[in-house]
Structure 1
Amino acid sequence: MTSNPYRAGHVAVIGRPNVGKSTLINALVGAKVSITSDRPQTTRHRMLGIATFDAGQLVLVDTPGLHAAQNRAMSRVLNRAARGALEGVDAAMLVVESGKWDSEDTLAYDALKSAGIPVVLVVNKTDRARDKADILPFLAEASEGRTFHSVHPISALKRKGLDALVETLLSLVPEQEALYSEDDITDRSMRFMAAEFVREQLMRQLGAELPYATAVEIEQFEEDGAMFRIGAVILVERDSQKAIVIGNGGQRIREIGTKARIQMERTFDRKVFLQTFVRVRAGWSDDEAALRALGYQD
């Protein structure tokens, strides 16, 4: 009896903001490679999550959510990054939230429709439904008039429905050897991940007050024996925002640093000494040159 051939390929993960794309990628990879929060624009960079299974390897292209509004440089750059993720991939997942289809879901579908690749509709957050039968009308609504290779109701948070999704995705990528080592989980450096873990805490703790007005630069990343020494600079656009990030008596910046450091130690498997600083750089989020300097790629 012959075994099934090994398969490996790239799969873009597309959808509007805050539908759970990063949570899904982390669940498939089995490790935290993409930061999460309940705020739009949490994912700002195109990055790869590498999910390796016995039957094959899925290189998941995590993308910023597609935004209908493009009135600021940040939104324009993120939209171009999301659309650019479709270049050279073998298939795509359109991730939507169960029970909610709006104009930005249509925008994401339209971007995929012209790409000429198989598209799998992934309906996330189905664990919120009291009765699974309640999901069926939405599945029919989302599929009506649209072409999908298959439809998969899942819960990325609860890791429900992922086995069938992986089986489908592997069937859509080429028969070939693994593209990355089985120990690889992302194409990004630890330095990049350190900045993301700080920004994750900013989004989680300050999202309502500073939705998009912060960025993070790593100015120091050095090995010191069995420890990493990391210096992170949090950029804001105004002095009033700096005061919010620092908090009363420095309490908030300490909490941000502590939680980011714990996540770094968990991911890097090493002790971390983290220092955080806050600086004002006016207008960076609406300046495409400044965004490129901060690592935001089209």
Structure 2
Amino acid sequence: MEFTAVAEGFRSGLVAIVGRPNVGKSTLLNTLVGEKVAITTPIAQTTRRVIRGIVTTPSAQIVFVDTPGIHKAKSLLGRRLNDAAQAQSVGVDVLVFVVDGNTGIGTGDEWVATNVVASHKGPKIAVINKTDKFSKDAQLPKIAQVSELASFDAIIPISARRGKQVDDVLKAIITHLPEGPLLYDPDDYTDQTINELIGEVIREKAMHGMREEVPHSIAVEVEDILPGNKRDVQVVHATILVERDSQKGIIIGNRGANLSNIGRAARPEIEDILGSRVYLDLRVKLFAQWQSDPKKLGQLGL
């Protein structure tokens, strides 16, 4: 594929977004890209794959790498997520370290700063997220606290959810990118496949409102996307996978109510992705102990 010629001085590069779970990394990625490329829920370890979001401006192309939250792993999946997050922070041009300014800096942030951020030799930008939840007077002490964690080229307080000062993050990143060519087509905003995008939307809707251990046991496979019997309708066949038989009943709900709600919530976003009306054929299947089974994790691409 031939890309559009770029002006002299054009910059491009890889930027990893790292931090502990639930600090708003995926929300920041979506806001920067201007499209939903990563699902978001209040549940820790929602992000399971390394997701790339692409921003192309007249002067630069930034390829953001959203990594799973680094946490104390309790399963093979958890260990693989940690390994993926740390591996993706190596060799990038700029590292963006996100902390939750509302809950404050904790031992998890300190661990990520010591073991991931400090080892990055290139430019490092710290982002103090969720400023919409605390006063402006509280920002300076938090900036001082973050500055003690590592040597940062910039520390920027933002609200990713509200888009406040997110442009400042983008400008700081571009300043520290090397000159280089386009890495992706300028029209691309992610490297995920259509099936992956749809599967993640379904998983996000399935995770909302579920009890305690169920969300972490959910995976989604999109088997087929086929033309429907009616014009401008596509049929999406997808399966929600769970680890235990008892979880099937929770996902399905009384007379299929929960499963219907998941489909109803997911359908509009899937229609946006496909650009057509959608009939969603959604099923639930037992995939026993998949989080601890290397072969099954491989089947799911994890």
The aligned runs of 1:65-144 (5 Å cut-off) are 65-67=69-71, 69-99=72-102, 100-110=104-114, 111-129=116-134, 131-144=135-148
Give the CA deviation at 1:70. 2.1
1:145–1:259: structure 2 CA closer, same or farther, 3 Å change rule?
Answer: closer
C-alpha separation in 2, matches of 1:78 and 1:278: 24
Question: Residues 237 and 283 of structure 1 are in contact (CA less than 8 Å); yes or no, is this contact kept in structure 2?
Answer: yes
- The TM-score, its normalising length taken from structure 1, stands at 0.94
The counterpart of 1:227, out of the listed 233, 252, 270, is 233
Question: Residues 234 and 276 of structure 1 are in contact (CA less than 8 Å); yes or no, is this contact kept in structure 2?
Answer: yes
**In the alignment, residue 124 of structure 1 is paired with which amino acid?**
N
Q: Deviations over 1:259-290 (max 9, x none)?
A: 11111112332222111111112111111221
Secondary structure at the residue paired with 1:205? coil
Give the CA deviation at 1:4. 7.7
C-alpha separation in 1, matches of 2:211 and 2:277: 28
**In the alignment, residue 272 of structure 2 is paired with which amino acid?**
R
Q: Deviations over 1:184-242 (max 9, x none)?
A: 01001101111100100112231635131111111112244633321111111112110
C-alpha separation in 2, matches of 1:223 and 1:186: 24
The counterpart of 1:251, out of the listed 257, 260, 280, is 257
C-alpha separation in 2, matches of 1:115 and 1:145: 13
Aligned to 1:277: 283
The aligned runs of 1:135-214 (5 Å cut-off) are 135-144=139-148, 146-206=150-210, 208-214=212-218
| 2:293 paired with 1:295 | no
Give the CA deviation at 1:124. 0.5
Give the CA deviation at 1:51. 1.2
C-alpha separation in 2, matches of 1:54 and 1:109: 33
Question: Residues 66 and 108 of structure 1 are in contact (CA less than 8 Å); yes or no, is this contact kept in structure 2?
Answer: yes
**In the alignment, residue 78 of structure 2 is paired with which amino acid?**
S
- The TM-score, its normalising length taken from structure 2, stands at 0.92
Secondary structure at the residue paired with 1:170? helix
Give the CA deviation at 1:16. 0.6
The answer for unaligned runs of 5 or more in structure 2 is 1-6
C-alpha separation in 2, matches of 1:79 and 1:169: 24
Question: Residues 66 and 107 of structure 1 are in contact (CA less than 8 Å); yes or no, is this contact kept in structure 2?
Answer: no
Give the CA deviation at 1:45. 0.3
C-alpha separation in 1, matches of 2:294 and 2:15: 28
The answer for unaligned runs of 5 or more in structure 1 is none
Structural RMSD (CA): 1.6
Give the CA deviation at 1:115. 2.6
